[in-house]
Structure 1
Amino acid sequence: MNTYILVLLILIVASYIYLKLAIKFKIIDKPNERSSHTKITVRGGGIIFPIAILLFFFFNDYQYLYFVLGVFIISIVSFLDDMYTLSSKIRFPFQVIAVCLILYEVGLPFSPIYLFAISLIIGVFFVNMFNFMDGINGITGFYSLAVISGLYFINLNEQIVSSELIIYVFISILIFGFYNFRKKAIFFAGDIGSISIGMLIFFIGLYLTIQLSSPLIVLLVIVYGADSANTLLYRKFFTKESIFEAHRHHIYQKLVDVKKISHLKVAVLYAVIQLIVNLIIYKTYRLDLQIQLLVLVVLVSIFITGYIYLFKKLKA
C-alpha cells in the first residue's frame, strides 16, 4: 500500500510539472478535421502512462524488460510527434520495432514466419487504433479504465501477468482523468498517451490470449475495434479519402457532431458497453472452445450490425 501511495504522489507531481512545462513550451493541440473539440488545449498529458510503466519496472525487479523497452521507444517517438507532428514514415518503423519487442516478450516464436507477420500487423494496427479513437474528452481515459478492469479481473483469477503493472497504470489514468474528464479538458493524452496505453493493453491481452488459449480476450476491446475497423473499411471502399488523413466518420464523432451528445457522455457510454461485454467474457472465457467461438461470432456480429445501423442513422 505504501508503494501505491508513493506512485500516486510521483504521478501527481509529474502531471503538474508536465502541465506547466507544456504551457511554457506551447505543446498544444489545435483542433483539426478529426477532432471534436474547438479549444486549443495542452497535449501529451498521457506522458504519465509510460511514466507509470517505468515506475512499475523499477519498483518490481525490472520485469518485462522488452515490453518496457518497446514502450520507452514508442513513447519518445510519440512525444516528438506530439511536439512536431512527425511523418508516418518516421513513426511506422519505430512502431514495428516496439510491437516486435512485445511479441518477443510474450514468447511468440518467429516460426512460422507468417504467424509472426500477422501478429505484427495486428499489433501495429492495435496500437494505432487507440490513437485514432482519441478524439473527444474522456474517451481514452474512460475506455482504457474499462478495458484494463476486464484484464485485471481475468488476470486476478489466472495470475499470468503482474497485477502491479495493471494497478500502476490504473492509478495513472485516474490522475489523467482529473485533467481530462471535464467539459473543457485541461490536457489531452496525445499520441504518447494513446499509443502507450495501446501498447500496454496489447501486451497484456496477447499474453492472456496465448496462456489461456482463449479467443474471447480480443473482445475486451470490441467497442473500439468495431468502430475503428468498420470505419477503416468504410473509408477504404466507399470514400476517396486517404485512410491516413484526419476525418470525422467514427461513431463517437457522429454522436457528438450530429446528436450533440456531450463528450463525456459518449465516452462513458463506450466504457459502459465495454464493461458489459467484459462481464460476458469473464463468465465464458473458461468454457469449451466451441462455445467461446460461438460467443465470439455472436458478439462480433452484433457489433458489426450495430455499427452499420448507427452509421446510417447518424449520417449527416
Structure 2
Amino acid sequence: MSIVLLSIVFFVMTSIFTGCMRHYALKKNIIDNPNERSSHTVPTPRGGGVAVVCSYLLGLALLIYTQQLTFHIGLTLILSGFVIALLGFLDDHGHINALLRLAIHFLVAIAVVISLGGFTNVSVFNGFELGFIANIIAVLFLVWLLNLYNFMDGINGIASIEAISTTISMAIIYSLLNVSANVDIIWLLSACVLGFLLWNFPRAKIFMGDACSGFLGLILGILALVALKENIALFCGWIICLGVFIVDATYTLIKRVLNGYKMYDAHRSHTYQIISRKCGSHTPVTLMVLIINLLWLLPIAYITVKLNFSYPELAVLIAYLPLIWIAVKFKAGNSDA
C-alpha cells in the first residue's frame, strides 16, 4: 500500500479515535486539573494520546504484514511501545510508584538495546571506540528521552508539534538522501500525531496524557538508535532535530538540581513554560518551536547527514548553542516566579 494513502487513512482514523477518547474521558471523569506544574488553568480531559498509540501500533502491524517493515524492527517498536503506553495509561487512571515506573522504563530500554543487537561497535569523534559503554549510554538515552517528553508535554500542541516536525524533518532527509530504511514508519508516525493535533491545538479539547508522551519519546529514541546502526551522522541528525526538547529538559533539570531542588519536584520552570507565561498564550510558543525546528534545526541536520562530517557531534553543538542561550536568557530551572 502507498505510504501516502496509508498516512491519510491513519490521520483520519486517529482524529476520529481521539474524539472517542474525549467522550470516554468526560464520561469517566478523567480530567487533568491544574496544579503547581501546570501551564493551563482550565480542567481538561486527558488521555487522548491513546488514539495515537493504538493507530500507530496498528499501522506498524500492517506494514509488517505487507512486508514494508522488517519483522524484527516492527516487533521491537510494537512491544516496547505497548508496554510504555500501558504504563502511562495506568498512571493516567491512578498512580504508579515513581521508582517502579522508572524501573520498568529501564527494563524496556535494556530490552530494546538487546533487541537491536547492541552498540559496542559504535565510535564517536572520528574513531573513538566506546565499546560496551555505548550500550549503557543507549539505555540512558532511551530512558531520558521518554521521560523528558513527558516533562515537555505541558502546553497546547507542543509535544505533537515536536514529534511532527522532527519526523517530517527526518523523513525529508531520508528521502532526499535516499536513506530508504524505515522512512515509511516515520511518515506514519507523523500522520498519526497530526490526527491528534487537531484536538490539541491551538486550544486543547483534550490532553495527550502520559500514555502517549512517554510512548512518543521512546519511539523517537528507538528510531534514532536504528539510525545509529547506519552511521553516527544520521543519529546526530535525529539528535539535532529533537534539540528543542533535549536542551530545554536537560538544562532545566541540571539547573534545578544545582539550585537545590529535588529531581522529581513538580515545577513550571522549563523555558517553554516561562515564555508561555510571558506571552500570556501557548500558541506563540508552540509555533516558535515549529519555526526553530524547520528553519534552524532541519537545515543543520540535513547538512550534517549529507556531508557526513568526520565530527558530526560538533554539528549538534552548533545547533544547540542558540537553544542553550535561550534557556539561560529566560532563567530556566530557577524559581517558577
Same fold (TM over 0.5): yes
- Measured in 2, the distance between the counterparts of 1:50 and 1:100 equals 21
- Measured in 2, the distance between the counterparts of 1:285 and 1:261 equals 38
Using the TM superposition, give the Cα deviation of residue 131 of structure 1 relative to its aligned residue in structure 2, in angstroms: 0.4
Using the TM superposition, give the Cα deviation of residue 87 of structure 1 relative to its aligned residue in structure 2, in angstroms: 1.6
* Structure 2 residue 29 is the aligned partner of structure 1 residue 10: no
Alignment of structure 1 residues 90-105 onto 2, 5 Å: 90-105=100-115
Using the TM superposition, give the Cα deviation of residue 169 of structure 1 relative to its aligned residue in structure 2, in angstroms: 1.8
- Measured in 1, the distance between the counterparts of 2:36 and 2:282 equals 16
| Amino acid aligned to 2:32 | D
Given that residues 67 and 101 in structure 1 are in contact (C-alpha distance below 8 angstroms), is that contact kept between their aligned partners in structure 2?
Answer: no
Choose which of 231, 241, 251 in structure 2 pairs with 1:220. 241
Using the TM superposition, give the Cα deviation of residue 105 of structure 1 relative to its aligned residue in structure 2, in angstroms: 4.0
| Amino acid aligned to 2:258 | F
Alignment of structure 1 residues 148-187 onto 2, 5 Å: 148-156=167-175, 157-183=177-203, 185-187=204-206
Given that residues 145 and 217 in structure 2 are in contact (C-alpha distance below 8 angstroms), is that contact kept between their aligned partners in structure 1?
Answer: yes
**RMSD of equivalent CA atoms:** 2.2
Alignment of structure 1 residues 22-41 onto 2, 5 Å: 22-41=25-44
| Amino acid aligned to 1:38 | T
- Measured in 2, the distance between the counterparts of 1:216 and 1:162 equals 17
State the partner residue of 1:44.
47
Q: Secondary structure at the match of 2:198?
A: helix
Choose which of 67, 74, 81 in structure 1 pairs with 2:91. 81
Q: Deviations over 1:177-216 (max 9, x none)?
A: 1110033x11011111111111111111221133122153
State the partner residue of 1:131.
150
- Measured in 1, the distance between the counterparts of 2:152 and 2:184 equals 27
- Measured in 2, the distance between the counterparts of 1:195 and 1:160 equals 27
State the partner residue of 1:248.
268
* Structure 2 residue 119 is the aligned partner of structure 1 residue 116: no
Q: Secondary structure at the match of 1:241?
A: coil
* Structure 2 residue 319 is the aligned partner of structure 1 residue 299: yes
State the partner residue of 1:287.
307
5+ residue gaps, structure 1: none
Q: Deviations over 1:190-248 (max 9, x none)?
A: 1111111111111112211331221532111111111111101111111x321111101
Using the TM superposition, give the Cα deviation of residue 16 of structure 1 relative to its aligned residue in structure 2, in angstroms: 2.2
The two structures have a TM-score, normalised by structure 1, of 0.91
Using the TM superposition, give the Cα deviation of residue 288 of structure 1 relative to its aligned residue in structure 2, in angstroms: 4.6
Given that residues 45 and 187 in structure 1 are in contact (C-alpha distance below 8 angstroms), is that contact kept between their aligned partners in structure 2?
Answer: yes
- Measured in 1, the distance between the counterparts of 2:271 and 2:12 equals 37
5+ residue gaps, structure 2: 66-70, 122-130
- Measured in 1, the distance between the counterparts of 2:109 and 2:138 equals 9
Q: Secondary structure at the match of 1:311?
A: coil
Q: Deviations over 1:248-275 (max 9, x none)?
A: 1111111122x13410110110121122
Given that residues 56 and 164 in structure 1 are in contact (C-alpha distance below 8 angstroms), is that contact kept between their aligned partners in structure 2?
Answer: no
- Measured in 1, the distance between the counterparts of 2:26 and 2:149 equals 25
| Amino acid aligned to 2:84 | I
Alignment of structure 1 residues 62-81 onto 2, 5 Å: 63=71, 64-81=74-91
Using the TM superposition, give the Cα deviation of residue 291 of structure 1 relative to its aligned residue in structure 2, in angstroms: 5.2
Choose which of 250, 253, 256 in structure 2 pairs with 1:232. 253
